[in-house]
Amino acid sequence: MHFYGLFGESLSHSLSPQLHQLIYQKLGIEAAYKPFAFEPKLMAQAIAGVRALSIDGVNVTIPYKETVIPYLDEMDILANQLNAVNTIEHKDQKLIGHNTDYAGFGLIFDRRNWKIEGKRAVLLGTGGAAKTVEAYLIDHGIAHLTIVSRSPERFENTEKISYTNYESLSHLTGDYLINSTPVGMYPNSDDTPVDDVVIENFDTLIDLIYNPKVTRFLEIGHTLAKQTANGLDMLIGQGVRAVEIWENCVIEDTIIEELIEHFQKEIGEQT
């Protein structure tokens, strides 16, 4: 039997334990998955526990996706490029860092056949999730990406990426408006990072939040007849990819669709 877990500081609302148990059930895998919440100062002890107890792998969520890196033996190319790890594989007595958020974000586009090449996007936020979104969009041919920060002067503009502040947003237009901030997350469900004046200027809204299922940000988009997607696909996509790494398997699209359908109902009941 394999044993996995989740590293984070506050995990009481995480759907990852339910998600992984359902994946193992559908695949007929004997495995257990447990959340491990701990304070930042205990990272060294947490990693030592993975080694000592022969835990087969752990997922890593905020705020540890970067701070866990110095404790690892190896990193795959993508995790190294993003400087962010959300999946640790314990193999041959080594801890190997992976990033499966990238694949998870891509599932949002793959399931809807949304195109990226030649499009223009605006990304709200500059945190760890934003780095993943930025890399995915650039890798898949986005024509231009504007990243919105409270302190855009900290960043340097490039040919394809420019930075701005929230006060300048009303002048921007584009194909995709993507929220990678926690604004609007449960229990602050009435909050939105931008208002309808900004949202009106974009064709499609993506919110990486999945609880609530329809954030205020997406609700405004529905009212304005925009295409929308929440972060549930990303959550499930990254979890599926983590299991594929740990169990050295390929999970079929039909199972992914079953997982999404299940948790769409689950989130609807919770919120």
Task: Render pLDDT for 131-144 as a digit per residue (tens, 0 to 9).
Answer: 999 999 999 999 99
CATH class as words, domain 2-99+233-270 = alpha beta
pLDDT at 266: 82
For residue 34, CA distances in Å to 37, 57, 58, 69, 129 come to 10, 11, 9, 21, 23
Tokens at 186, concatenated: 């449960």
Q: Is the confidence at residue 268, as pLDDT, over 80?
A: no
pLDDT at 271: 42
Do 2-99+233-270 and 114-230 agree at the fold level?
yes
What is the three-state SS of 85-153? CCEEEEECCEEEEECCHHHHHHHHHHHHCCCCCCCEEEEECCCHHHHHHHHHHHHCCCCEEEEECCCHH
Q: Identify the CATH homologous superfamily for domain 114-230.
A: NAD(P)-binding Rossmann-like Domain (3.40.50.720)
Question: What whole-number distance in Å separates Cα of residue 144 and Cα of residue 122?
Answer: 9
Smallest Cα–Cα separation from 123: which of 171, 172, 80? 172
Residue 57 contacts by C-beta under 8 Å, 6 or more apart in sequence?
4, 5, 87, 88, 89, 90, 242, 245, 246
Q: What pLDDT digit, counting tens, does each position of 206-231 carry?
A: 999 998 999 999 999 999 999 999 99
Question: What whole-number distance in Å separates Cα of residue 78 and Cα of residue 24?
Answer: 25
Residue 65 is among the residues annotated as catalytic for this protein? yes
Q: Is the confidence at residue 269, as pLDDT, over 70?
A: no
> Active-site residue among 65, 119, 131, 213?
65
Q: What pLDDT digit, counting tens, does each position of 158-188 carry?
A: 999 999 999 999 889 999 999 999 999 888 8
Q: Is the confidence at residue 270, as pLDDT, over 60?
A: no
State the CB neighbour count (10 A cutoff) for residue 4. 24
Domain chopping of the chain, boundaries = 2-99+233-270, 114-230
State the CB neighbour count (10 A cutoff) for residue 150. 11
Report the SS3 class of residue 229.
strand
For residue 271, CA distances in Å to 21, 74, 118 come to 22, 39, 37
Average pLDDT, integer, range 79-96: 96
**Contact (CB, 8 A) for 205 and 226:** yes
Residues above pLDDT 70, as percent of the chain: 99
**Token pair 């959550």 is at which residue?**
235
Q: What pLDDT digit, counting tens, does each position of 54-70 carry?
A: 999 999 998 899 999 99
Is the whole model's pTM more than 0.85, yes or no? yes
Phi, psi of 124 (to 5 degrees): -90, 115
Averaged pLDDT of the chain = 95
Report the SS3 class of residue 160.
coil
